[in-house]
Amino acid sequence: MQTPLWFWIAFNACVLIVLTVDLFGFQRRAHAPTTREAATWTFIWIILSLGFNGFIWHWEGPAKGLEFLTGYLVEYSLSVDNIFVFVLVFSSFKVPTQYQHRVLFWGILSALVLRGAMIGLGVKSVQTFQWTLYCFGVFLLFAGAKMLWHKRTVGGFNEGWLVRLVRRFLPIADRYYGPKFFIRIDGRPVLTPLALALIIIEATDVLFAVDSIPAILGITTDPFIVYTSNVCAILGLRSLYFLLAGLIDRMVYLKPALAVILVFIGAKMFLAEVYHIPTVVSLGLIALVLSIAVGLSLLSNRSSNPMPLNARRTERYSTIKSR
């Protein structure tokens, strides 16, 4: 069933309204979101996404509802790698915490446009040339294997080739000027380091989209489901970053879990003509893998930092003794 045009218009209108309220309402004063604020907004974005999932389930049927939920879960879990890169970019450029939300807002806004174009090309290629689905499947198999066996390279983004290229053609200020992306020096526009960080964020998101878009095409080739699940996952990425930025290194088993998910979806795409794996099975398996990864990560952190049973009593005794 083809999605009605008004579904597309209504969805994008709602996204624009939410982003406008966020920009001119909650972002009017630059500040570093607290953990409570980030947790609240993360919860709100998840509830809104699940509410939209219920809308699809009602209007387009359970099959499309399951496809959206599975695609949303895949995209949301793969966005954890984006968070790791955000941490590296902001630390490399020493971006003040109160301005990071502004960078992520405009980076995610541009990501919606870029991913929309990439999704359109991906869906069109799959619908026109069926063999491209197998190419995506093979690509995901290699991407998952690479993620599983290769370690992340924690290089300085402020010394990368893209930064050198930008500095070669565009003037960059040597310090931050509040939340501004560009200023005027001697009458000519000059980018600030905040704009440079934004450029790197946008470039890395394009690279991550190369993995995430083929992954969701392994779940469904319905352009509306692919696009909306991507957008819903991206919209919640900012609050998720501020919630997990300090904990991302503790999720030691999450990266292997993401690799397993990519390999599974790649195999599903590659074997589509031989055996079709139901969407509900894919959803259950992906949720199970993520749950095991998070659980093992928490157990690993707990065992590596054991807390003595009588720690509080010992601390209290030491305090009393010192007095």
Q: Please report, for the chain, the start and end positions of each structural domain, with discontinuous segments joined by +.
A: 5-322
The DSSP annotation for 165-233 comes to HHHHHS-B-SS--TT-SEEEETTEEEE-HHHHHHHHHHHHHHHHHHHHHHHHHTT---HHHHHHHHHHH
Instruction: Please report which confidence band the pLDDT of residue 34 belongs to, taking 50, 70 and 90 as the band edges.
Output: confident
Spatial neighbors of 208 by CB under 8 A, at least 6 apart, are 78, 79, 81, 82, 85
Least confident interval from 14-18, 195-199, 241-245, 302-306: 302-306
Q: What was the pLDDT predicted at 158?
A: 59
Which residue type does 294 have?
V
Of 228 and 204, the structure prediction assigns the larger pLDDT to 228
Which residue type does 247 have?
L
Q: Rounded mean pLDDT of 64-86? A: 85
**Residues 80/244, Cβ–Cβ less than 8 Å:** yes
209-263 pLDDT, tens digit per residue, is 777 788 888 888 888 999 999 889 888 888 888 887 766 667 778 778 888 888 8
Rounded to two decimals, the pTM is 0.77
Q: What was the pLDDT predicted at 18?
A: 82
Phi and psi at residue 273, to the nearest 5°: -75, -20
83-134 pLDDT, tens digit per residue, is 777 877 888 788 888 888 888 888 888 888 888 888 888 777 776 766 677 7
